[in-house]
Amino acid sequence: MSFFGLGKSVVHISKTVYEEILNHAKESYPHECCGVLVGGIFQDRKIFESHRATNANTDRAHDRYIIDANELNLIDKMARSQGLDVIGFYHSHPDHPDKPSATDREWAQHGYSYFIISVQGGKETSVKSWAIEDETGPFREEKIKLT
């Protein structure tokens, strides 16, 4: 189903890129990691690359993240030079579930996938992808398909 359809939308990601994201989350524990997902939107979303970002929220790195705007702009320019787009973001939830928090919803924007990695005691336990259908709607889970 499409992003706006009734069923779950699907996000395709290679096992290699998926593992890169998990490793980043484990390495960053007990702090939140964050990064940018680059790819394209065809019939489904396809993630071709992940780019680690520095968590600029040094005051609350254990439960908040901020991606520096300059860093995001550089990643976006690099993606566009390859004919790709920023299609999502990822971050970890140290010792918390892979469900979006109220802060995650407050900052979320329509049109992007949000991967959340639950890291318990330094080991990932689960990963889910979320998206919103409009600026005021709730998060909706997306299906992650490893390719």
- Give yes or no: 135 in active site: no
Q: For residue 134, what are the CA distances in angstroms to 19, 72, 115, 124?
A: 30, 22, 18, 30
The answer to whether 38 and 48 have CB atoms below 8 angstroms apart is yes
Q: What residues form DSSP beta bridges with 39?
A: 47, 85
3-state secondary structure 37-86: EEEEECCCEEEEEEEEECECCCCCCCCCCCECHHHHHHHHHHHHHCCCEE
- The single residue of 19, 20, 27, 32 carrying the catalytic annotation is 32
By annotation, the residues acting in catalysis are 32
